Amino acid sequence: MAFFDALRRTLSGDSSRKFTSREIEAAFLGVDPDTLPIADEIPFNASNYDRTQWAKKLKRVIEGLPATQAEWDDVVADSKAMGFEADWIALRTRAAFALLVRKAVADQVVTEAEHRKLDLARDLIGIPDAEAVAILEGVVAEAEALFGGKVEGA
- Angstrom distance (rounded) from CA 36 to CA 25: 9
User: Looking at per-residue confidence, does 35 or 117 come out higher?
Assistant: 117
Domain, as residue range, for 12? 2-41
- pLDDT above 60: residue 55: yes
Residue 118 — very low, low, confident or very high, per pLDDT cuts 50/70/90?
Answer: very high
Q: Mean pLDDT in the chain? A: 87
Asked whether the whole model's pTM tops 0.75, one would answer no
- pLDDT above 90: residue 2: no
Structural domain contains residue 107: yes
Structural domain contains residue 116: yes
What per-residue confidence (pLDDT) applies to 1? 59
CA 133 to chain centroid: 25
The maximal CA–CA distance of the chain, rounded, in angstroms, is 85
- Structural domains of the chain, count: 2
What per-residue confidence (pLDDT) applies to 49? 93
What per-residue confidence (pLDDT) applies to 28? 78
Q: Looking at the structure, tell me whether residues 16 and 63 fall in a common domain.
A: no
Can you tell me the mean pLDDT for 12-19? 66
Q: Looking at the structure, tell me whether residues 61 and 120 fall in a common domain.
A: yes
Can you tell me the mean pLDDT for 73-84? 94
- pLDDT above 90: residue 88: yes
Q: What amino acid is encoded at 47 in this protein?
A: S
Can you tell me the mean pLDDT for 106-120? 93
Cα distances from 71 to residues 30, 86, 95, in angstroms, run: 44, 20, 19
Q: Looking at the structure, tell me whether residues 118 and 103 fall in a common domain.
A: yes
Residue 43 — very low, low, confident or very high, per pLDDT cuts 50/70/90?
Answer: low
Structural domain contains residue 94: yes
Three-class DSSP labels, the chain: CHHHHHHHHHHHCCCCCCCCHHHHHHHHHCCCHHHCCCHHHCCCCCCHHHHHHHHHHHHHHHHCCCCCHHHHHHHHHHHHHHCCCHHHHHHHHHHHHHHHHHHHHCCCECCHHHHHHHHHHHHHHCCCHHHHHHHHHHHHHHHHHHHCCCCECC
